[in-house]
Structure 1
């Protein structure tokens, strides 16, 4: 969150988070509407999964970019329990690297379960845990699939947890 705010301010954008980690809109007010967040932020769990699956170019792979785990992921069987520089394995359909394995990736959602109904890019702030996606070098092949998820305490850190950033992009007509 600190990195996202630092990068936002460096690029002349409003910060995406307040000091407690709550989302801010472009005017500095609290929001849960991601379309109103102008700065860099952590992706929601739904955004993360959409990107890992290859977006609208998805080929329905089990892992991010392949059905062969060794082609796209660092995990317990090939990592020697150490993370690697991003980009050494093949990317997924969108050209994104290491969305399976290497490190668990922190999502912005504070929730511990999926909702019952169909939603488009839900943003959860109801749980006490942060969502982790993608698996790490310490996991077996089942835990580095696109659908694998875990939870962590909001302030817990270790060498198998990382993050990637997202930014809302407005296109013609104001849609994201």
Structure 2
């Protein structure tokens, strides 16, 4: 028994390794169970259980995500005659920015993804500037649940330029330059960077996974959106059904300024979701946009307005306006990058 002591040590080592292997297996099993449940109680059970807690950091991240606010909404789909054929209940994450005096700004989480930007050649009433269709990948970001309201504009800018007054109505009669300045002041007020959406972000968010002319389907009706002078004026934001991301008023009500310069087609357009600001596109920032605020260029307008016909409200439709031009149909919706909340 010359090696008895060494044998004993090796046996003990093997026993400890076997126990550790069992604990690792048990830990992984408990982790998989928690992931399948994907609930606060499930993740807490993992942390409180007799496990190695190898995934403790990830558990904390998931608990934080679950604790974030969500809202429920209904998405409708219509047929070619405008009749509702499908209803679906959905939820989306959101955060609220307090602007003071009871005024808040709701921002909705938009997941990243890839989509075909523009319209196909056979889409009814399409224009040549909507092509060629091209694949674009968009990073996650946050977008205003509604167009900026008059109350929100007043809270940030201290004035209300709108012709058709109403705190819950979208602000209008603003230029692209005004919209950029609003983003700058909002960023200073909240210590969080807000900016205009790129044209690609806007269309991606509007479509919310759909490929039809409207996020409702092949057509829209006056029960689904405010357009074609059916009401003769703007309406309170959120008066019509949202899209699959939980965004309201993406078709009609007010045109929405985007960051990009207007080009007559998509030849040479970026495919990474960035704004097309020059012949050689570039990543952009609020500071970049603000530095160009006083340069007169034609900028993008999206979504149509209460005065546009159905064609002008399609997801792919593109409008343009001089950056200093204030039109009675022009409004804005803000975005923030995903990691700022």
C-alpha distance in 2 between matches for 1:64 and 1:73: 11
1:51 corresponds, among 201, 205, 211, to 205
Q: 1:59 offset after TM fit, Å? A: 3.3
Change (3 A) 1:88 1:148: same
Taking structure 2 as the reference length, what is the TM-score of the superposition?
Answer: 0.39
Pair 103,117 (structure 1): closer, same or farther in 2 beyond 3 Å: closer
Higher relative contact order (CA 8 A, sep 6+): 1
Matched-pair contact (CA < 8 Å) for 2:270–2:276: no
Q: Given the superposition, is the C-alpha separation of residues 123 and 40 from structure 1 closer, same or farther in structure 2, using an over 3 Å criterion? A: same
Determine if contact 2:254/2:304 at 8 Å carries over to the other structure: yes
Go from structure 1 to structure 2 and tell me whether the alpha carbon gap of 1:77 and 1:69 turns closer, same or farther (over 3 Å shift).
farther
Q: Distance in 1 between the 2:314 and 2:236 partners?
A: 20
Counterparts of 1:95 and 1:117 in 2: how far apart (Å)?
28
How many positions carry a matched residue from both structures? 142
Instruction: Tell me the residue number matched to 1:129.
Output: 298
Q: How does 1:9-24 map to 2 (within 5 A)?
A: 9-13=188-192
Q: How far did 1:117 drift?
A: 6.0
Equivalent position SS for 1:69: coil
Does the Cα contact within 8 Å between 2:261 and 2:299 map onto a contact in 1?
Answer: yes
- CA-CA distance at 1:125 after TM superposition: 1.7
Q: CA RMSD in A?
A: 2.0
Choose which of 188, 196, 210 in structure 2 pairs with 1:42: 196
List alignment gaps of at least 5 residues for structure 1.
14-38, 172-176
C-alpha distance in structure 2 between counterparts of 1:119 and 1:130, whole Å: 19
Mapped to 1, the partners of 2:200 and 2:269 lie a distance apart of: 14
Q: Which has the higher helix share?
A: 2
Shift of the alpha carbon at 1:120? 1.9
Per-residue CA deviation, residues 140-174 of structure 1 (Å, 9 max, x unaligned), is 11111101111000010112000000011139xxx
Mark the runs of 5 or more structure 2 residues left unpaired by the alignment: 1-179, 280-296
Aligned counterparts of 1:163 and 1:115: Cα–Cα separation in 2: 26
Residue of structure 1 equivalent to 2:252:
101
Q: Deviations over 1:75-129 (max 9, x none)?
A: 115222x111111110000110010111111001123232336612132223821
- What secondary structure sits across from 1:159 in the alignment? coil
The TM-score normalised by the length of structure 1 is: 0.73
Could you tell me whether the CA contact under 8 Å between 1:76 and 1:140 is conserved in 2?
yes
Please show how residues 48-127 of structure 1 align to structure 2 within 5 Å. Answer: 48-54=202-208, 58-70=209-221, 71-76=223-228, 78-80=230-232, 82-113=233-264, 114-116=266-268, 119-126=271-278
